[in-house]
């Protein structure tokens, strides 16, 4: 997996700041090295988009002053060059001082006068440390991809990667619980440790989302970002309820719904026809990068356990037959069963299996009952060793 180290502001869509009375002024000033005669601006959330609140040109002494009005706490960006910015959490009446380097503001700055921003930067520093560690592991992975000892290297990297991810997750959970009354908890909920990989999953870590929602509604009941998040929580609750329903039909020990879909040759294959074997039911697509990265592990596991009664049914969410078949050929997946209705996210299996993302997989025993979910890499092989022996 390739991890990104860029730590910017989270996607703030839906967090709105509306015009109200009783506004209080905020003031941001400071000095930026290499900033003489250059421009800076402060942007805040306004009706689902970032809008400039103020801008200024630094004087010959590299000093600037920005100001504006707020009625309630909000999230903001202090921006120098295009795409160079730092995240601020602004409160009405804040007097903030920023020092740093104009050309490298993201990595070279200090912010004083905003406790919430200080907390966010404390969290971001820890997150960056762990992202850097993951990038080092990714470098080892790339440098050893053709090594004769690659399997043992990969296993070690997976163990080390999981340890880093687990450490960051525990730290994040503790951080959120410690700062439930701070707006920083809302930012932290949406931080990613890799593109598309949230530290706290809205479904798996739903409890923390509920805690933040409840606490901030008490602390800032008139804050529009908080009110908007509260409304978004209604959608999360609905998803969470759907997942609980799915667990009742797709939980451990359950026989999952039968699947009857076309094979690459046009025949119809049923999942139930594979009863009597230990089956990996794997949902994937040729356009899914994490799926493609996992496929070599699946090939290796199939080759190791197939003669012991292990089989695979891969269900693709591809849109075209050409892309589907190319993915099968390129990843050397021809040895086992494949089906797809080429419906993409409108595929019948998406709703049937309550699929929120791919790859998603279920391991079924010889009776067709679910015995494990979302096993990847070495975890799948270890589970099969328990069932089928080494």
User: What's the pLDDT band for 48 if we cut at 50, 70, 90?
Assistant: low
Which DSSP category does 277 fall into? S
The pLDDT of residue 90 is: 95
Q: In 3-state terms, what secondary structure has residue 197? A: strand
Q: Which structural domains are found in the chain, ordered by start?
A: 24-111 (2.60.40), 118-249 (no CATH), 260-388 (3.40.30.10)
| Sequence-ordered list of residues with C-beta below 8 angstroms from that of 249, at least 6 positions apart, any chain | 256, 257
User: What's the pLDDT band for 51 if we cut at 50, 70, 90?
Assistant: confident
The set of long-range contacts for 261-265, using a CB threshold of 8 Å and a minimum separation of 24, is 261/315, 261/339, 261/340, 261/341, 261/348, 261/349, 262/339, 262/340, 262/341, 263/337, 263/338, 263/339, 264/321, 264/324, 264/325, 264/328, 264/338
Listed range (141-150, 159-168, 284-293) with the worst mean pLDDT: 141-150
Name the residue with higher pLDDT: 45 or 379. 379
**By CB neighbour count within 10 A (0-12 exposed, 13-18 middle, 19+ buried), where does 364 fall?**
buried
Q: Tell me what the pLDDT averaged over the chain comes to.
A: 90
Q: What is the DSSP string of 46-60?
A: ETTEEEEEEEEE--T
User: What's the pLDDT band for 47 if we cut at 50, 70, 90?
Assistant: low
Q: Are 140 and 157 in contact (CB under 8 A)?
A: yes
Q: In 3-state terms, what secondary structure has residue 367? A: coil
Beta-bridge partners for 261: 269
pLDDT at 15 over 50: no
**Rounded mean pLDDT of 273-287?**
97
Q: Over pLDDT 90: what percentage of the chain?
A: 74
Name the residue with higher pLDDT: 178 or 14. 178
Closest alpha carbon to 358 in 349, 367, 370: 349
226-241: pLDDT as tens digits: 888 999 999 899 888 8
pLDDT at 89 over 90: yes
Residue 350 φ then ψ, to 5°:
-60, -50
Highest mean pLDDT among 141-145, 194-198, 359-363: 359-363
Cis preceding-peptide flag for 359 (omega within 30 of 0): yes
Q: In 3-state terms, what secondary structure has residue 375? A: coil
Which DSSP category does 203 fall into? T
pLDDT at 8 over 60: no
pLDDT at 372 over 60: yes
Report the distance separating Cα 120 and Cα 73, nearest Å: 14
Report the distance separating Cα 26 and Cα 183, nearest Å: 17
Residue 240 φ then ψ, to 5°:
-65, -40
206-262: pLDDT as tens digits: 999 999 999 999 999 988 788 889 999 998 998 888 778 877 889 899 999 999 999
| Angle at which helices 115-143 and 150-178 cross, to 10° | 170
User: What's the pLDDT band for 19 if we cut at 50, 70, 90?
Assistant: very low
Q: What is the DSSP string of 223-235?
A: -HHHHHHHHHHHH
Name the residue with higher pLDDT: 13 or 189. 189
The pLDDT of residue 66 is: 98
User: What's the pLDDT band for 150 if we cut at 50, 70, 90?
Assistant: confident
pLDDT at 346 over 90: yes
pLDDT at 3 over 50: no
Q: Quote the pTM value.
A: 0.67
């Amino acid at each position: 997996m390739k991890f990104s180290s860029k730590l910017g502001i989270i996607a703030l869509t839906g967090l709105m700041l509306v015009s109200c009375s009783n506004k209080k002024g905020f003031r941001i000033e400071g000095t930026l090295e290499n900033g003489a005669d250059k421009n800076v601006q402060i942007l805040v959330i306004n009706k689902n988009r970032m809008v400039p609140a103020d801008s200024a040109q630094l004087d010959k002494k590299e000093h600037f002053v920005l100001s504006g009005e707020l009625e309630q706490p909000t999230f903001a960006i202090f921006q120098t060059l295009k795409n160079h910015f730092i995240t601020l959490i602004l409160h009405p009446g804040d007097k903030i001082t920023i020092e740093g380097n104009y050309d490298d503001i993201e990595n070279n700055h200090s912010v004083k006068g905003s406790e919430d921003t200080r907390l966010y930067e404390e969290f971001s520093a820890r997150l960056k440390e762990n992202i850097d560690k993951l990038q080092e592991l990714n470098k080892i992975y790339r440098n050893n991809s053709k090594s004769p000892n690659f399997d043992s290297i990969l296993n070690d990297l997976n163990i080390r990667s999981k340890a880093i991810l687990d450490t960051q997750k525990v730290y994040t959970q503790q951080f959120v619980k410690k700062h439930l009354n701070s707006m920083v908890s809302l930012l932290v909920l949406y931080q990613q440790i890799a593109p598309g990989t949230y530290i706290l999953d809205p479904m798996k870590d739903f409890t923390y989302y509920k805690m933040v929602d409840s606490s901030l509604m008490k602390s800032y009941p008139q804050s529009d970002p908080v009110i908007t998040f509260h409304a978004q929580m209604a959608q999360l609750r609905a998803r969470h309820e759907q997942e609980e329903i799915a667990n009742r039909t797709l939980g451990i020990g359950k026989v999952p719904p039968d699947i009857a879909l076309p094979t690459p040759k046009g025949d119809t294959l049923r999942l139930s026809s594979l009863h009597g074997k230990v089956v990996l039911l794997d949902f994937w697509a040729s356009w899914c990068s994490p799926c493609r990265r996992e496929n070599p592990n699946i090939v290796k596991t199939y080759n190791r356990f197939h003669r012991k009664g292990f089989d695979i049914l891969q269900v693709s969410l591809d849109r075209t037959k050409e892309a589907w078949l190319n993915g099968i050929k390129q990843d050397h997946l021809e040895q086992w069963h494949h089906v797809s209705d080429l419906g993409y996210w409108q595929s019948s299996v998406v709703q049937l299996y309550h699929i929120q993302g791919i790859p998603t997989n279920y391991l079924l025993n010889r009776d067709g009952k679910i015995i494990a979910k979302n096993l990847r890499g070495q975890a799948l092989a270890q589970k099969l060793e328990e069932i089928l022996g080494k």
